[in-house]
Amino acid sequence: MTYENSYEIRNCIFSYKCSADWETLADTGEEKIRFCSECSKEVHFCENDKELTQAVRNNLCVAFEKTETGRLSAILTGFIRPNP
C-alpha cells in the first residue's frame, strides 16, 4: 500500500509504506529480521540511524520506530529510497 503523504527521513523519502505489523511478521530466527508473506520479502528492523542508512543503501525493506516527543507512536514498515 503506497502512502499518499511521504515521510521525510534525512534526504530520503518513505516511498512505500507497508500495512504489515512488525509483531505479526513471520519469525526468521534472526532477531532483527522478519519475513512478510504478503510480498515475500525480508523486513529488517533498524534501531538507529546507522542501521537505517545501511538498509537504505542495500534497498532493504525496513521497520523502525517512529517517535513523537520522546514516546513511541508506531513501528513503520516499508521501503525507503534516497530523495533525488
**By three-state DSSP, how is residue 32 classified?**
coil
Name the DSSP letter for residue 70: T
- pLDDT higher than threshold 50 for residue 83: yes
* pTM of the full structure: 0.73
Q: Which cell numbers in the block locate residue 20?
A: 504489515
pLDDT in tens, 6-53: 344 556 666 777 888 888 999 999 999 999 998 899 999 988 878 888
